[in-house]
Structure 1
Amino acid sequence: MKKLILIDGNSVAFRAFYGLPLLSNQSGLHTNAIFGYARLLEKIIKDEAPTHFLVAFDAGKSTFRHKQYSEYKGGRQKMPPELGEQLAPIRRLIDAYGIKRYEIEEFEADDIIGTLSRQADEEAGFQTIIITGDKDLTQLASDNTVIYYTKKGISDIDLYTPEFINERYGLKPLQIIDLKGLMGDKSDNIPGVPGVGEKTALKLLDTYGTVENVLENVESVGGKKLKENLTHHKDDALMSKELATIHREVPFDFNLDDLTFSNDNEEEKYELFKELEFESLLGNMEANEAEEKISFDDERVDSLEALGGAVSLHLEVHADNYLFNPPEYIAITDGGKTFVDKIDAIGAKELETFLNSRESINVYDLKRQTGLLRQLDITFNDFTTDVMLASFLLDPSKKILDVAESTGQFDISIDSDDFHYGKGKKSKNPPHEERVSFLNSKVMAVHTVKDRMINSLKEDEMYDLWLDLEIPLSKVLAEMEIKGITVEASSLVEMEDDIQERLNEIEEKIHGFAGEAFNINSPKQLGYVLFEKLELPVIKKTKTGYSTAVDVLEQLHDKHEIIQYLLDYRTLSKLQSTYVIGLQGEIKEDSRIHTRYNQTLAQTGRLSSVEPNLQNIPIRIEEGRRIRKAFVPKDDNHVLLALDYSQIELRVLAHVTQDETMINAFTTNTDIHTKTAMEVFGVGKEDVTSEMRRNAKAVNFGIVYGISDYGLSQNLGITRKEAKTFIENYLDSFAEVKEFMKSIVQDAKRDGYVKTMMNRRRYIPDIHSRNFNARSFAERTAMNSPIQGSAADIIKLAMVEYANSEEAKKFDAELLLQIHDELVFDIPRDQVEDFIPVIKGIMEHAIEMSVPLEVEYGYGKDWYEVK
């Protein structure tokens, strides 16, 4: 049998957006709705095996229904920009699956779906499934058409068939429009008849069948007020029914055969999933490796002496952690001759001598190569170029996966690591000759692409950024990773015991409120306790029962004392498992944790850390801050010193905008949030309340990070209208900031990219998009990227300046960590006071601006004590 899937495009996008927490990829694009959509498509294709497929969208704000009733759908809240920016990518997603999509002026998606489902009903051998979050479409249910109604998110679904509708409402599918005619529909602003709710409407339809029959027999209807309302609002009832009726004669320029679905667009899906960073979906696919690979004409040699002076080096191990997994193979080329073999075929001393004799050494991922060499006891860290870093600068939107991904930017096509080694359950250990051949192509690709990348960097004015900042920084980071930071496991174990004791106390309290012992971590058991035993109001249900998610518990906060204990229990449990216990497993034999830094993830240029991520240790609660107690100096004669930039993004904003009010606040050491509150609320300094300052602070940082009125409303717990007013008042108060935001968008439209103070580019591909939401997101990205990127570049520059400072080298200080705007050092206790002015001077003068850079510091016996 032929199976047609019809999806209500906008409705499902809304459900996916609100059904999943906000997610975003490294480009800053929110992706939760796109991800939810992709999961739905995967499930539908797998479970239903459709032969025909279409996604219908609303074409615009005005339809033929607005001509009948101008207030149709009036009063709907404006779509959050975090969702709006995802609509264009959702369309790309649908195209990547090879699914047809359609929209047409004057009609809604409902009408498109209604027409196609009618055609399918009339044509023999078709079964139709309609997927929507709009109950209007349930009127289309028939013997061959079922409506999958998404209640919450996209996984909680009711199947509307004629039997289901009759069982639930006592109606036939077409009577759904009569129901809407009588009771109206607030979501679509369909008026209906005042005073008629669902219960009354169903009672009337049970007796009279249709709106028309109700109105013809109004004198027989019980209740004086109801009679009056039906009489006075007769026209509204008839109009409401008409508005709710799906039009099933939309003029198409295609037929059902054109909707044939084959599900053979694997390559397009794979590329889009990579761009969106949908790792779980990528894990279910295999890359299409059908493209033609380049053959290199280099000569294989058996000794290093045969190679020329300028070479490219690649040490290989098939493992992510290059600090603790020794290299297995080595490949070195001068472009004409190449040496490739197992690492044990060459002595460490011989290799170190060779490296020190080369005039230049090019690599892919300098940090990784340094870490692998160090495991061979080779201290060489004098690489001259790094094509991975060049690749990222030239296209920061591209996820850096391996050599193949980077060299592919310049049409040098080689096998990817995933293709060569396999992935997940399909991982493999290729034979020696295969590995040698693969590494030969890998090192040759790295060598061949270098000059092309350098030329492109010079053309884009980023050569100095690459050579003078990113490459030296990578050398600094390599040494930080290798050193690691001392962590006292005993301190974490003690903390684990303390937290467990606290968890036990909370558990006892919770069980006391419940009147019985139960598994707090079981949603089913917790749901029973909260909603059946304690009879708290049900907020949300899932397929398996009551939802006990955090957002649900927060809504129940004032309903019962048990809720706060449950929230505390979850917070501490997460802290315990992820950090207190998790960090213990990351401590190596040297009693240190060796986090790894990623220079090629965030398009703004900010660093991130992995295994473990030390940038995300929660410090807003005391138990989280206490984790820092375990991070200590190397011995009792040393201390940890932490220095961080104060409000660096706002200082950068003041500099690049040249806003006099902001500059004056920073140069006179006035609290910027208080100053902002004074400007926005039009009050004197003495009249600024703590709430005013809190709101001003949120707007200040919101501007820097491109927050929308929706995002600000969520942060402050206010309406979107109030949040929009805050932002507008802010921009009116800081005229130069407003002008900068305007001009930077114009620059992005002219150039296609924006730049930081050090010329780091971020490309803005959707700045000319015809889609309003995609364009709006692009404009916000253009506004905030120069600020965030410049701040990231400044602390990087400070790290490089520190490494090059002859004055700093007089001290026995070791740079251990970079946490956003903070640097952490290990230094002898008797040197710290003399070192502070030196390192503060380096950081505060890393770059000269119109406002002073201010660095705050603290030191002590552990990381906790420094703050």
Structure 2
Amino acid sequence: KEKPTHIAVCFDRKKPTFRHEQYKEYKANREATPEGIIVAKPYIDRLLDSLNIQKLYMDGYEADDVIGTLAKKAEQEDFQVYMMTSDKDFAQLVSENIFMYRPGNKWSPTEVWGIKEVLEKFQIQKVPQVIDFLGMMGDSVDNIPGLPGVGKKTAQKFIAQYGSMEALLANTHEIKGKLREKVEGAKELGVLSKQLATIETHVPIAFEEDKLKIKKFNIDEVKELFDELEFKTILQRVLSVSGVEKTPTINEETTTIEADEELSSGQLDMFSVNSSEEKEKEVISKDYSTGSETEMIYSEIEKRGVCSFQLLCNNLSDFNQKIIGVSFSCEKNEAVYFPLSEKTIDLTRKILLNKNIKKIGFDIKSQIKILKKYNITEIENFFDISIAHYLLQPDMRHDIDLLAENYLGQRSMDINSVLGKGKTKRSMSELSKEKQLLFCSELTDIQLQLYSVFTAELKKLKLYDLFQSIEMPLLKVLSDMELEGISLDTEMLSDFSAELSKEIVNLERNIYEISGEEFNLSSPKQMGEILFEKMKIIEKVKKTKTGQYSTSEETLSKLKGKHPIIDHILEYRGLQKLLSTYVKALPLLIDKNTGKIHTTFNQSVAATGRLSSVTPNLQNIPIRTKKGRKMRKAFIPKNSDFEILAADYSQIELRIMASLSSDTSMLSAFNNGIDIHSATAAKVYKVEEKDVTREMRSHAKMVNFGIIYGISAFGLSQRLGIKRKEAAEIIENYFIEFPKVKEYMDLSINKARDNEFVETILGRRRYLKDINSRNGMIRAFAERNAINAPIQGSAADIIKKAMIDVQQEMKRLKLESRMLLQVHDELVFDMKKSEKEILMKIVKEKMEQTITLDVPLVVDIGFGKNWLEAH
């Protein structure tokens, strides 16, 4: 938008700055750098290098100081300067030629702050008073103390009255009440705070105009990096600006715009999008609108023994959708398309039900559900492209257009360019027949080509058996579960809604009484001011990047017990979330045709191999609180002839750890039916098992599960509320008593270093490309995954195999009972009462015998008139 001619990106250095010399506690309460930023930093460096953008920094100074110095020096050379940042501290640098460029997001637009905006935002008379404002308020993020008892409004009042920090401190005798005493006792802190808040504009760094000029990109490096990060849209924008042709795509409007390295003004516009001339990828496709030649096509597909297929619908994720057309392909760059007709359905049925034909598709589960209402069921011998790629690259996205570009070097038709967006968006049925044919045929062609690539890769990496024996059979199980759905007790939910609403009102009243005033409980800003300015629950308060007090659940949870209002607020939020996310929302998801809710299970999302679910997300139904557990009472059988049965693996991840590590103590505990947490507590605390207290067992339980996730002494101390030294001793004792566990962890990490991946018991891979990173924090994150991924992934494989085994036996016996849900390590069934004995036997046997470990798998089973009773 602003068309810059020069650009630089400034960074902090790890070394202390002059501010640390002034005040040793400066930024002392900063939390560790978020893992995401640590992981992203090497990519940011590569990006800037490939774009030929200068990176600037200076030991002893912060990035703020380098920016401030460059901004002032550039202004002196008659440049107009934009500081791209949302940090309010930079407002002190704004002048007639220096502006703050605050990037927007989906909630707020981009803002440019000049002198007028700064004065309005801070309610001050001149820009330099920003420093006085910041000094008076202090900053919990940077641990700048400020003046005690002075918040935003008080700081604005003081500046309006006195004009500066110095003038205020010279006239403290005019301040009334206890605030006078506080400010007078902190005069030195006030002066120091202003110094700490001042951005240094005399850093010994040169303004080298030529080096900061926008230069030609290194296109190959940019493309390599963006391909790696899957930044498709941004890549096309950058390529169009640089003059490089975009990858051709089908059915886009052909436009030619010259994209020179430098625009007419000598500026490179990174933020515009130019359309290069594009060519259509040829897919020879025939439209058999009359349904003729279906026998000839079926014979050809049957002879080849393999074909890809694609249903065309308005919304594949809705199993009530009607089919618009179907496309098939059994030869590269060739496809046939049939609009919906009786002959189309007959051909589709013949192809898909032929067990000797390998059927290739993308998101086959959704298509199976739609096909069922056309009496096309029991499809076998299929190959799902998205799930194949999920096994090959579990951390990557699996979109068909991305796969086509990455593996075939071609871009598929952009669905948004075909259908449009927003109010102008059309449905598939509104497209011309020609566009329907092109779109559907192109997908089948891409899928057919990817099939060859992915089959070879799966076999090469020894993942083909896992794909065929677990993931493909599971796909059918999940489609059956999704179609079956689960019934809801709407009357119970209505009563529960009223009950929760009443409790929420009472909590609101209690919170207002304690705080002394009413305020918007949904406003983090108002809540922060009440808790930390008015009530002053704690002295050192964490703030967000926008300068507001942090009132997140994480922050407030750490304050539990400090004041009654905190417990009330946390309970209020918990009940509000339960009410809005589940109690009120679930009835709205009831399908009008079936009277049930139908969740969708994601088979290719969680990199660990676990399933997840959406619409609704049943994995996240709260179970740790009494009210949360009550939510399960709403899930009921289909009618009075049925009950809900729930079967849950007991401590499956710990059993897998015992088996993988071969630790004698763990194996002994599980093989002899001893409570593992009590056994662990006895060993760690060096007491007899009969002397283990509830607190000891609770601590041991946290250690047992924490070890699997690579918990640190600091993390354990936070969770248990104990000193870090005590937590470290517990972990040390644990590894002394369970030495093979430590050996397993070290071995897993070492193998991961050699291979850059780890495997589950059944061979599922999790790639850990950062395991050999020079960055300690990035490497530590990968090391934790090296320990956990084989355990969590093996648990996922076990329950997946169990689901297949149970479902096959239920179908073999033609039971009327149905599998409904899979939530973590639990399976939920709609059990016909007359089948109770046989179903419980099948479920327990198949789940416990699905795989052989060195310790027994144990399944707890319950049943009742709702999920809560059964669990």
Please give the range of the TM-score, normalised by the shorter of the 2 chains: 0.7 to 0.9
Mapping for residues 744-823 of structure 1, pairs under 5 Å: 744-805=748-809, 809=813, 811-823=815-827
Between the aligned partners of 1:701 and 1:101, the Cα distance in structure 2 is 46
Change (3 A) 1:682 1:285: farther
Question: What amino acid is the match of 2:866?
Answer: D
Change (3 A) 1:846 1:102: same
Question: What amino acid is the match of 1:378?
Answer: I
Between the aligned partners of 2:232 and 2:51, the Cα distance in structure 1 is 18
* Structure 2 residue 56 is matched with structure 1 residue 56: no
Between the aligned partners of 1:313 and 1:175, the Cα distance in structure 2 is 64
What's the CA shift for 1:617? Answer: 1.1
* Structure 2 residue 457 is matched with structure 1 residue 456: yes
Asked if structure 2 preserves the Cα contact closer than 8 Å seen for 1:267 and 1:288, the reply is no
Asked if structure 1 preserves the Cα contact closer than 8 Å seen for 2:119 and 2:127, the reply is no
Question: For residue 204 of structure 2, what is the aligned residue in structure 1?
Answer: 249
Question: For residue 116 of structure 1, what is the aligned residue in structure 2?
Answer: 70
Match of 2:415 among 414, 417, 420: 417
Asked if structure 2 preserves the Cα contact closer than 8 Å seen for 1:293 and 1:414, the reply is no
Secondary structure of residue in 2 paired with 1:748: helix
Secondary structure of residue in 2 paired with 1:577: helix
Change (3 A) 1:562 1:358: closer
* Structure 2 residue 294 is matched with structure 1 residue 296: no
Change (3 A) 1:328 1:721: farther
Question: What amino acid is the match of 1:647?
Answer: Q
Secondary structure of residue in 2 paired with 1:248: coil
1:613-655 deviation per Cα after TM superposition (whole angstroms, max 9, x unaligned):
1111112222222222222222222221111111111111122
Question: What amino acid is the match of 2:590?
Answer: I
Question: For residue 305 of structure 1, what is the aligned residue in structure 2?
Answer: 295
Asked if structure 1 preserves the Cα contact closer than 8 Å seen for 2:404 and 2:446, the reply is no
Question: What amino acid is the match of 1:438?
Answer: F
What's the CA shift for 1:406? Answer: 5.8
* Structure 2 residue 704 is matched with structure 1 residue 700: yes
What's the CA shift for 1:848? Answer: 0.8
Between the aligned partners of 2:506 and 2:169, the Cα distance in structure 1 is 61
Asked if structure 1 preserves the Cα contact closer than 8 Å seen for 2:67 and 2:83, the reply is no
1:452-503 deviation per Cα after TM superposition (whole angstroms, max 9, x unaligned):
2111100010000011110001011111111112223222223223333433
Question: What amino acid is the match of 1:326?
Answer: K
Between the aligned partners of 1:709 and 1:161, the Cα distance in structure 2 is 49
Change (3 A) 1:622 1:454: same
Question: For residue 317 of structure 1, what is the aligned residue in structure 2?
Answer: 313
Between the aligned partners of 1:764 and 1:679, the Cα distance in structure 2 is 33
Secondary structure of residue in 2 paired with 1:824: strand
Unaligned runs of 5+ in 2: 146-154, 171-183, 235-270
Question: What amino acid is the match of 1:126?
Answer: Q
Change (3 A) 1:855 1:71: same
Asked if structure 1 preserves the Cα contact closer than 8 Å seen for 2:656 and 2:791, the reply is yes
Secondary structure of residue in 2 paired with 1:865: helix
Between the aligned partners of 1:725 and 1:401, the Cα distance in structure 2 is 47
Mapping for residues 485-504 of structure 1, pairs under 5 Å: 485-504=486-505
Change (3 A) 1:445 1:552: closer
What's the CA shift for 1:92? Answer: 6.1
Between the aligned partners of 2:525 and 2:60, the Cα distance in structure 1 is 47
Worse-superposed segment, 723-732 or 604-613: 723-732
Question: What amino acid is the match of 2:76?
Answer: E
Asked if structure 1 preserves the Cα contact closer than 8 Å seen for 2:30 and 2:141, the reply is no
Question: What amino acid is the match of 1:567?
Answer: L
Secondary structure of residue in 1 paired with 2:213: helix
Asked if structure 2 preserves the Cα contact closer than 8 Å seen for 1:764 and 1:778, the reply is yes
Between the aligned partners of 2:632 and 2:348, the Cα distance in structure 1 is 40
Question: What amino acid is the match of 1:471?
Answer: M
What's the CA shift for 1:657? Answer: 1.9
Between the aligned partners of 1:276 and 1:695, the Cα distance in structure 2 is 47
Secondary structure of residue in 1 paired with 2:771: helix
Asked if structure 1 preserves the Cα contact closer than 8 Å seen for 2:807 and 2:819, the reply is no
Question: What amino acid is the match of 2:819?
Answer: L
Question: What amino acid is the match of 2:491?
Answer: S
Question: For residue 329 of structure 1, what is the aligned residue in structure 2?
Answer: 325
Between the aligned partners of 1:691 and 1:276, the Cα distance in structure 2 is 52
Question: For residue 859 of structure 2, what is the aligned residue in structure 1?
Answer: 855
Question: For residue 36 of structure 1, what is the aligned residue in structure 2?
Answer: none
Question: What amino acid is the match of 1:776?
Answer: A
Secondary structure of residue in 2 paired with 1:703: helix
What's the CA shift for 1:604? Answer: 0.7
Between the aligned partners of 1:172 and 1:824, the Cα distance in structure 2 is 64
Between the aligned partners of 1:647 and 1:290, the Cα distance in structure 2 is 59
Between the aligned partners of 1:446 and 1:716, the Cα distance in structure 2 is 51
1:178-223 deviation per Cα after TM superposition (whole angstroms, max 9, x unaligned):
x99xxx99999999xxxxxx99xx99977999xxxxxxxxxxxxxx
* Structure 2 residue 423 is matched with structure 1 residue 470: no
Question: What amino acid is the match of 2:282?
Answer: S
Between the aligned partners of 1:853 and 1:765, the Cα distance in structure 2 is 33
Asked if structure 2 preserves the Cα contact closer than 8 Å seen for 1:396 and 1:603, the reply is yes
Asked if structure 2 preserves the Cα contact closer than 8 Å seen for 1:755 and 1:786, the reply is yes
Change (3 A) 1:687 1:57: farther
Change (3 A) 1:807 1:128: closer
Question: What amino acid is the match of 2:479?
Answer: A
Between the aligned partners of 2:73 and 2:728, the Cα distance in structure 1 is 46
Secondary structure of residue in 1 paired with 2:413: coil
Between the aligned partners of 1:288 and 1:818, the Cα distance in structure 2 is 47
Secondary structure of residue in 2 paired with 1:447: helix
1:19-49 deviation per Cα after TM superposition (whole angstroms, max 9, x unaligned):
xxxxxxxxxxxxxxxxxxxxxxxxxx7xx77
Question: For residue 213 of structure 1, what is the aligned residue in structure 2?
Answer: none
Asked if structure 2 preserves the Cα contact closer than 8 Å seen for 1:844 and 1:852, the reply is yes
Question: For residue 348 of structure 2, what is the aligned residue in structure 1?
Answer: 351
Question: For residue 254 of structure 2, what is the aligned residue in structure 1?
Answer: none
Between the aligned partners of 2:436 and 2:689, the Cα distance in structure 1 is 69
Between the aligned partners of 1:653 and 1:285, the Cα distance in structure 2 is 53
Between the aligned partners of 1:207 and 1:392, the Cα distance in structure 2 is 63
Between the aligned partners of 2:141 and 2:4, the Cα distance in structure 1 is 31
1:598-617 deviation per Cα after TM superposition (whole angstroms, max 9, x unaligned):
10001111101111111111
Question: For residue 583 of structure 2, what is the aligned residue in structure 1?
Answer: 580
Between the aligned partners of 1:489 and 1:286, the Cα distance in structure 2 is 51
Question: For residue 373 of structure 1, what is the aligned residue in structure 2?
Answer: 371
Asked if structure 2 preserves the Cα contact closer than 8 Å seen for 1:844 and 1:853, the reply is yes
Q: Aligned residues: percent identity?
A: 33
Worse-superposed segment, 48-57 or 639-648: 48-57
Between the aligned partners of 1:96 and 1:832, the Cα distance in structure 2 is 66
What's the CA shift for 1:833? Answer: 2.8
Worse-superposed segment, 284-293 or 748-757: 284-293
Asked if structure 2 preserves the Cα contact closer than 8 Å seen for 1:275 and 1:398, the reply is no
Between the aligned partners of 2:597 and 2:603, the Cα distance in structure 1 is 19
Mapping for residues 509-548 of structure 1, pairs under 5 Å: 509=510, 521=521, 523=523, 527=527, 530=530
Secondary structure of residue in 2 paired with 1:368: helix
* Structure 2 residue 338 is matched with structure 1 residue 341: yes
Between the aligned partners of 2:855 and 2:820, the Cα distance in structure 1 is 29
Asked if structure 2 preserves the Cα contact closer than 8 Å seen for 1:366 and 1:386, the reply is yes
Secondary structure of residue in 1 paired with 2:870: coil
What's the CA shift for 1:703? Answer: 2.8
Between the aligned partners of 1:644 and 1:273, the Cα distance in structure 2 is 38
Secondary structure of residue in 1 paired with 2:35: helix
